[in-house]
């Protein structure tokens, strides 16, 4: 993959790693007074040029979180995006609108995805379709996961590798482990080898790393990501909020921890049946005192 530009950002101790940058900065795009519909279509033009699904996801995620980054509640953001999708983009079928709507289906919130799915049907019915990355966007295969944590239990960073065919990338989420744990930083990097080397660095005596089961990674990260975006002032900084939709999409690609079977309750009839079955078994045939055997069988089943 070849993103337009990349930054360097610390994620595990003093180690620096790279992550994909956006093709543009949504805070500075467009002229003053430009409508959100125009901004969406402008992003659609850029999405047509994206080399792959990851770049499209990151760009769309920055777009759908733009208002959230500026302090608006998520419910208001959903209302604005869905309104623009259904009232504006649905009436402008073109390659650009098809691209941006398909990208929102991949990374948007549940209300945004629902509205975008309906609008995409109208756009494709007019003969316009999203780019080739639409066939796989939002569906990378999870590969492996790791955890690096400090010995005091204050923070941890979980890294999960994903693959779009031969192209790999890593999602890293740093969390504060105070009760309850909350995400404080989200990074996405396409240099898997550099990330894993950073996580496995043993020079810091106050941190450790370990392989992590994919289901365990989801169980640890999903609630932490939700807590990082609560309230008017979330714990996630703006650049991490811009990647949060992609992180949530990745959680849906991971298996869940198998549910623990509920405890089985037995009633008096079950206990009587167990005692009767035991007394009629060969194990009790040589007992010298059947009454004693029955007494203890009833005690034990009780």
Reported as a single tens digit per residue, the pLDDT across 17-49 is 333 333 334 334 444 346 888 888 888 889 999
CB 189 within 8 A of CB 195: yes
pLDDT at 41: 87
pLDDT at 265: 67
Weakly modelled stretches of the chain, pLDDT under 70:
1-34, 231-233, 259-266, 275, 283-284, 286-288, 293, 302
Strands (DSSP E) contained in 80-166 are 141-150, 155-164
pLDDT at 112: 95
What is the distance between the alpha carbons of residues 208 and 225, in angstroms, rounded to a whole number?
22
pLDDT at 275: 67
pLDDT at 261: 53
CA angle 62, 68, 74 (to 5 degrees): 120
Backbone angles phi, psi at 208, to 5 degrees: -135, 165
CB 160 within 8 A of CB 142: yes
Picking from 189, 195, 247, the residue whose alpha carbon sits closest to that of residue 218 is: 247
Scored b (16 or more CB within 10 A) or e, 98-125 reads bbbbbbbbbbbbebbbebbeebbebbee
């Amino acid at each position: 993959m070849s993103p337009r530009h990349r930054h360097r950002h610390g994620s595990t101790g003093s180690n620096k790693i790279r992550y994909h940058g956006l093709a543009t900065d949504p805070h500075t795009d467009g002229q003053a007074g430009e409508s959100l519909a125009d901004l969406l279509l402008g992003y659609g033009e850029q999405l047509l040029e994206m080399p792959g699904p990851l770049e499209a996801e990151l760009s769309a995620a920055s777009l759908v979180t733009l208002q959230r980054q500026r302090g608006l509640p998520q419910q208001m953001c959903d209302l604005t995006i869905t309104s623009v999708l259904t009232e504006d983009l649905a009436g402008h079928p073109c390659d650009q609108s098809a691209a941006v709507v398909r990208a929102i289906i991949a990374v948007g919130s549940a209300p945004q995805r629902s509205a975008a799915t309906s609008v995409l049907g109208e756009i494709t019915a007019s003969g316009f379709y999203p780019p080739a990355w639409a066939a796989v966007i939002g569906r990378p295969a999870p590969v492996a996961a790791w955890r690096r944590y400090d010995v005091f239990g204050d923070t941890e960073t979980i890294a999960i590798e994903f693959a779009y065919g031969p192209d790999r990338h890593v999602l890293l989420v740093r969390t504060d482990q105070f009760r309850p744990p909350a995400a404080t930083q989200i990074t996405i990097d396409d240099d898997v080898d550099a990330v894993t080397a950073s996580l496995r660095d043993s020079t810091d005596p106050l941190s450790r790393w370990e392989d992590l089961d994919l289901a365990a990674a989801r169980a640890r990260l999903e609630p932490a990501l939700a807590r990082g975006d609560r309230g008017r002032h979330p714990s996630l900084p703006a650049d991490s909020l811009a990647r949060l939709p992609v992180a949530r999409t990745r959680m849906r690609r991971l298996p869940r921890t198998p549910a623990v079977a509920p405890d089985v309750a037995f009633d008096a009839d079950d206990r009587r049946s167990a005692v009767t079955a035991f007394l009629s078994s060969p194990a009790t045939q040589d007992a010298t005192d059947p009454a004693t055997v029955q007494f203890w069988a009833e005690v034990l089943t009780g």
